[in-house]
Structure 1
Amino acid sequence: MSQYFQKEIECASRNEIENLQNEKLVKQVQHVWDNVPYYRKKMEQKGVKPEDIRSTKDLYKLPFISKADLRESYPYGLLGAPLKDCVRIHSTSGTTGKRVVAFYTQEDLDLWSDCCARALAAAGTTPEDVVQISYGYGLFTGGMGLHGGSEKLGSLTVPTSSGNTERQIMFIQDLKATVLCCTPSYAAYLAETMKGMGLGPEDISLKAGILGAEAWTKEMRDDIEATLGIKAYDIYGLTELSGPGVAYDCSAQDGMHINEDHFIAEIIDPETGEVLPEGSEGELVFTSLDKKAFPLLRYRTRDICSLSTKPCSCGRTFMKMCKPRGRTDDMLIIRGVNVFPSQIETVLMNNGYPANYQLVVDRVNNSDTLDILVEMTPEMFTDNVGEVSRRQKDLVADLKSMLGIKANVKLVAPRTIPRSEGKAVRVIDKRKLLD
C-alpha cells in the first residue's frame, strides 16, 4: 500500500490540480509584476501584462527566465520579497560562471520541507525510520532540503553531511539507519568501501535510498540496489526553484511525480521555445507557484526529458517527468554528433563495469577526440595485455553502436579515478580551454 504525506493533495483529481494551478498562477504573476522589476521589464518588452494571464493556458505568453538572467541580476535583481522577510539563501556551485543565489522566506522553507517529506514518504519512510542525510550541507540545497523533509515527517534525522566515508558506514551500522539520502555516485562509493571492509547488504539495515543531484542511469540504479540491498528512489530539484523535492520517485519507479500544487512543468523545443505536446522530449521548463522570495516564472532548466499524466499504480495523480536524458549544457557535440554521458554509462554498466569513468574531450588537428577512462573491477583486473586489449576493443565497438562515433577506450586499474563526495566529475572538455 502506498504511503503519503499529504494524500488529499497528492491524489487530487486532475481537474482539482488544474484549477488550483490556475488560481495560484494568476496571483503569482501579479506578485512578480509588483515586486520584481527585472521580470516586469521582460514582460513589458514582450507586451504582456498580468491581466493577460487568466490560466495555465496563457503561460506561453510569458517570457522565459534563463541561467543568464539569474547571473545578470545577481545578487538581488530577482528578489521578490523584502530582505527583512528572507531567512536563508542557497547557492549553486558557480562552476561555469557567477553563482546563482536563491532566497527563501520562512513560508518558502516550510513548503520546501513539505515537498521533501512527500518524497521520503513515497519511498516508504515513516516516523519509525532513521534517515541518514549524506548530501552536503551549506550553500548546496541537498542536505538542508532532505533534512527539513525528514524532520517534517517525524523521522530520526542523522545530519552526517558528505565525506568521512568510514564514519558514514559506522553510523549506518550503529544507528541502524534505514534510509540513505545522497548522490548516486556517493551511494556507489559507499557500497564499494563497504565491500572493501568485508561488509555486505546483510550487515546493514538500509531499505531505501533517496538519490539525486546528478544524472544516473537505470543500470546504475540496479547496481546500487544490488550492492546496498535497498530500493533506490530518484529525486529531482534545482537550487533556482527551491532544491530537491520538485519531483520524486514513487514505488512504481517509473518517472518522478512533480509537486504540481507548487510547480507547473512544460516541455519546449530548446531551439524555438515552442511548447511541445505531452509525451514529447524536449527542454523542461518550470514555473514556481508559491515561492515568494525567489519566484521564477518559466525557468529554463536545460534538462532534457518528457512529461506524462498517465495514471500511476501508486495512486498519485501528479504529472510525472521521466528521468532526464541529459542537459542541453551537458550534451557534448563531438564531430557533429550529440553525445550524452548517460549513453556511455549505459554501455559500460551493461558490460559489467562500475560507474567509475571519465570522459576527456579534446581537439587534435582541428578534429574532436573522445577518450574514455574506465575502471575495471578488482575481479576483472589483470596484467594480461591481450585480455585488456580485447576488452577495450569490445567496448569501442559497443560505444560506436550506441553513439555513432568512435571513442578511444582505456581500461584502468580499480580505484584510480578520483572519487567525489558530492557530484561526480564525469567530463573534462579540454576544447573549452582552447576556444
Structure 2
Amino acid sequence: MIWNRTIECASRDEMAAIQSERLIRTVQRVYHNIPSYRTKMQEKGLVPADIKSVEDITKLPFTIKSDLRDNYPFGMFTVPMSEIVRLHASSGTTGKPTVVGYTRNDLQMWAEVVTRSLGMAGVHQKDIVQVAYGYGLFTGGLGLHYGTENLGATVIPISGGNTQKQIQLMQDFQSTVIACTPSYALYLSEVMQEMGVDPESLKLRIGIFGAEPWSESMRREIESKLKIKAIDIYGLSEVVGPGVSCECEHQCGMHVNEDHFIPEIINPETLDPVAPGEIGELVFSTITKEGIPILRYRTRDLTRLIYDKCECGRTLVRMEKCMGRSDDMLIIRGVNVFPSQVESVLLSMSETEPHYLLIVDRVGTLDVLKLMVEVQEQFFSDEVRQLEALKKKITHNIQSILGISVDVKLVEPKTIERTAGKAKRVIDNRKI
C-alpha cells in the first residue's frame, strides 16, 4: 500500500525541488522569529537570501539539544502561543526538558507522516492497532494514535504498562498490530508464556517498534516469540515524534518522509558531511513545521543513508537501523563499545535471555566493564561447572567482537528490571 504515491515515488530532482522551496521558507521564518538562530547565522555571516536551494543546507549552523534547553520553555517557537494547540516535552532527567509546540497544521502533518509510516508497515483500515507507547508528554503514544485514526484503522489507546491487561485486550479485542518499544515487546512475550497464552492464538501480525536502538538479532527474537513481522519506526520529539521514518514490509531501511524532514549524515568529530553510504551522525532539518521549526538538529544517532530505489517502489531515501548513539558510545580503554554490539552477541546464544545491563567502573586508572546477563531458566543450574563454562563462553564471544575483556556475571531470569518505556542498558559509574 502506498499512501501518497506522488511524494513517496518522486524522483530525486522532484524531491530536491520540494525541499529547496520549503527550506528557503523555513530559513526565513527561523531567522526573523528566533533571536538565537538569527545570532548563529549572523556569526557565520549568513542571511536568509544566501540559502537558494537544498544544496546550501550545509552553510547553516547546527542545532543541539542544549539550544532548546537554553531557550526553555518557548524561546524557539516561531508563532504566538495563541496558535500553539499542543505541547510535548522530552525527558528532563539530564536537565530541563526540551519543549516542542504544535500548531493545528503541525498536528495534521504529523498525523500524515505517521499514516504513511503505518502504510509502509502494511497496516490497513481493517487493522486494530494497540498503542502501548506512553501517552502524555512523551510523543510516542499520541503520535501513533492520531496516525492510526487518520489511516482509518481502529486504535486501542492502552498506553504503556499493565502488561496482563495488554495481553487480555489482545485476546478480547483481537488486536492485529502492537506498537511499543522493542524491549517491552520481549517482556510481553515473557508474560504471555507465564499466562499460558500461545502467541499463535492471537490475531497479531505486525509490531511497530521504536524509541530505542535494537539489533537485527533482537528483531528475529521478537518475530520468533510473538509470531509477527517486526517493523522499525523512527522519530524524536525535537523533529516531530514518531513518523520521521519507518521501514516498509521489506525491512531494508527506514524510508524518511523527506518532503518534511531533510536528513544529512556528518562525521560527529569533524562535523563535515561524510561520503554517500558512510556511517555517521544523523542530522535533521524540518521544512514544514510552524510551531518550532528546527535546522540541522544533531540527533546523536549513528546510521547511514541509502538512496537506491526500494523493492516496494518508494524512492524516499532510507536510513539504516540505528546502530546506537554517539553519546551512548562507551570508550573503554580506548575501544569504542556500543550496547547494540553486546546485545547481538547475547541474542546469538541460545542460553541467555535478551535482558542485560552494562556497568562501567574505574578502578585506579583502569576502566572495568561488567556485564550482568540473564540466563534462561533451563540453563541456570546449581552446577558450578556448567555455569562457569557458560560464563567463559559469553566472555570469549564478547571479547572476540569488542576486543576488550568483560567481567560477566550470570543472573537468574527476571532479575534485571523491566520497563514499558526505554530499556536502561548502561550504568556508567566513572567520574569523567
Give the TM interval when normalised to the shorter protein. Answer: over 0.9
Partner of 2:318: 320
Alignment deviations for residues 24-78 of structure 1 (CA, whole Å, 9 cap, x no partner): 1111111111111110111001111100001111111100001121111111221
Q: TM-score, normalised by structure 2?
A: 0.98
Q: CA RMSD in A?
A: 0.9
Quick one: distance in 2 between partners of 1:355 and 1:316?
A: 33
The one-letter code matched in structure 2 to 1:420 is T
Partner of 2:140: 142
Partner of 2:124: 126
SS of the counterpart of 2:85?
strand
Quick one: distance in 2 between partners of 1:378 and 1:109?
A: 47
Alignment deviations for residues 296-329 of structure 1 (CA, whole Å, 9 cap, x no partner): 0000001111001111001111000001111111
Offset of 1:134 from its aligned partner? 0.2
Aligned match for 1:154, one of 131, 152, 160: 152
Aligned match for 1:96, one of 80, 94, 97: 94
Partner of 2:366: 367
Quick one: distance in 2 between partners of 1:241 and 1:38?
A: 18
Q: Report 1:56-75 matches (<5 A).
A: 56-75=54-73
Shifted more, 353-362 versus 158-167: the winner is 353-362
Partner of 2:426: 427
Quick one: distance in 2 between partners of 1:203 and 1:193?
A: 15
Partner of 1:45: 43
Offset of 1:277 from its aligned partner? 2.2
Q: Report 1:135-284 matches (<5 A).
A: 135-284=133-282
The one-letter code matched in structure 2 to 1:403 is L
Say whether residues 1:109 and 2:107 are aligned partners. Answer: yes
Contact 1:233/1:250 (8 A) holds in 2:
yes
Contact 1:200/1:227 (8 A) holds in 2:
no
Quick one: distance in 1 between partners of 2:215 and 2:153?
A: 29
Question: Percent of aligned positions with the same letter in both sequences?
Answer: 51
SS of the counterpart of 1:379?
helix
Runs of 4 or more, structure 1, over 6 Å off, are none
SS of the counterpart of 2:331?
strand
Quick one: distance in 2 between partners of 1:347 and 1:35?
A: 49
Contact 1:108/1:293 (8 A) holds in 2:
yes
The one-letter code matched in structure 2 to 1:250 is C
Contact 1:135/1:183 (8 A) holds in 2:
yes
Partner of 1:378: 377
Say whether residues 1:389 and 2:397 are aligned partners. Answer: no
Quick one: distance in 2 between partners of 1:394 and 1:103?
A: 50
Q: TM-score, normalised by structure 1?
A: 0.98
Aligned match for 2:18, one of 3, 17, 20: 20
Quick one: distance in 2 between partners of 1:325 and 1:419?
A: 22
Partner of 1:401: 400
Contact 2:183/2:422 (8 A) holds in 1:
yes
Quick one: distance in 1 between partners of 2:5 and 2:145?
A: 21
Alignment deviations for residues 105-134 of structure 1 (CA, whole Å, 9 cap, x no partner): 111011011111111111111110100000
Structure 2: 5+ residue stretches without partners: none
Offset of 1:354 from its aligned partner? 2.2
Quick one: distance in 1 between partners of 2:200 and 2:217?
A: 22
Quick one: distance in 2 between partners of 1:113 and 1:354?
A: 36
How many corresponding residue pairs?
A: 431
The one-letter code matched in structure 2 to 1:193 is V
Quick one: distance in 1 between partners of 2:353 and 2:307?
A: 34
Aligned match for 1:291, one of 276, 282, 289: 289
SS of the counterpart of 1:383?
coil
Quick one: distance in 1 between partners of 2:313 and 2:133?
A: 29
Quick one: distance in 1 between partners of 2:237 and 2:379?
A: 40
The one-letter code matched in structure 1 to 2:369 is L
SS of the counterpart of 1:285?
strand
Quick one: distance in 1 between partners of 2:244 and 2:55?
A: 21
Offset of 1:275 from its aligned partner? 1.1
Quick one: distance in 2 between partners of 1:102 and 1:355?
A: 34
